[in-house]
Structure 1
Amino acid sequence: MSDTSFHDPLAGLVFPADGRQSETARGIQRGALRYLAACGMVGVPEFCLASGRRADIAALDARGQVWVVEIKSSIIDFRTDRKWRDYRLHCDRLFFAVGPDFPLDILPDDTGILVADPFGAGLVREAPHHPMPGATRKALTLRFARAAAGRLMGLMDPEALRGIEL
């Protein structure tokens, strides 16, 4: 090993399914995360917001802009789950990510739309920009950093996080 190389302890790691999502939702999530990465953003799936709600994906760009992506795997999922309205207070842009067969006309006009499958996603409609207040942004960015770092640390050494609240 040269001085400029290092061993990646996460190389080849396969993440287990958390059991909360269907196979369809996991495929949409994977494609949406790939889209976000292609846009230069990093995403944290199943991100717990200050309100106690759990966003399907929270994403952050290099300038500190925050997107929340709500995954809808079926019409029933969309019609029975209205908690996504609360997410506007925790992001600059709110998107729905849906599969290729989802009827886009039932999604609200004031949200962005990503159509995704396990291999990627495409932007169908840009989300309106509604900037968060500075204090909210700072608190959310700190929560995002702790969640992401805690998950990485937990993968590398599950015992290290004992007693730490993320």
Structure 2
Amino acid sequence: MRQSEPQPRPDGRQSPTALAVQRGVLRHLAAHGVVGVTEFSLASGRRADVLALDGRGEISIIEIKSSVQDFRTDGKWPEYRAFCDRLLFAVPLGFPVEILPQETGLLVADAFGAELLRPPPRHALPAATRKALTLRFARTAANRLAALHDPDLLRLDI
């Protein structure tokens, strides 16, 4: 008997466009040796769309904007800078990228991948913040993986 692979359950917060951009971003990250966790809770209480960790331990936050209205009504992105070395926006094809802040990186994505149009500037995290985020990243990823294999597993909200 063949077992099927566990599948993540949609949480219902993202639009189909945002989910497609998210998938493309994760594929882009993986192609560049970077791992990401979606809907990552920060110590500030905010939730980053994607928190990514590269092989050097540097942390990026990718803020997904599915529409102009989504960008204009959500002004929390500057708060993310305290939690990452690099901050990027990821948007779908056809998004008017000229409205996005120049001081951030820029990815254009669809469900199949993403292209980096503007590299993000680096703002190095303090060592204590990096350590706390890296531990939270590892625990969040392990917790989610365990829950995929056992949906009845009692999980800590970390």
Residue number in structure 1 paired with 2:56: 63
Q: SS state of the match for residue 110, structure 1?
A: coil
Residue number in structure 1 paired with 2:114: 121
Q: Is the 8 A contact 2:65 2:71 kept in 1?
A: yes
CA drift at 1:160: 3.1
Q: Is the 8 A contact 2:6 2:148 kept in 1?
A: no
CA drift at 1:55: 0.2
**Distance in 1 between the 2:109 and 2:37 partners?**
17
Structure with greater Cα Rg: 1
Residue number in structure 1 paired with 2:97: 104
**Distance in 2 between the 1:88 and 1:71 partners?**
15
Instruction: State which of 131, 138, 153 in structure 1 corresponds to 2:131.
Output: 138
**RMSD value, Cα:** 1.4
Residue number in structure 1 paired with 2:34: 41
CA drift at 1:159: 3.2
Instruction: State which of 10, 21, 27 in structure 2 corresponds to 1:17.
Output: 10
**Distance in 2 between the 1:41 and 1:56 partners?**
15
Q: SS state of the match for residue 67, structure 1?
A: strand
Q: Is the 8 A contact 1:150 1:161 kept in 2?
A: no
What stretches of structure 1 move > 4 A for 4+ residues in a row? none
* Paired positions, count: 157
* Seq. identity, %: 61
- Stretches of structure 2 that go unaligned for 5 or more consecutive residues are none
Residue number in structure 2 paired with 1:29: 22
**Distance in 2 between the 1:125 and 1:12 partners?**
36
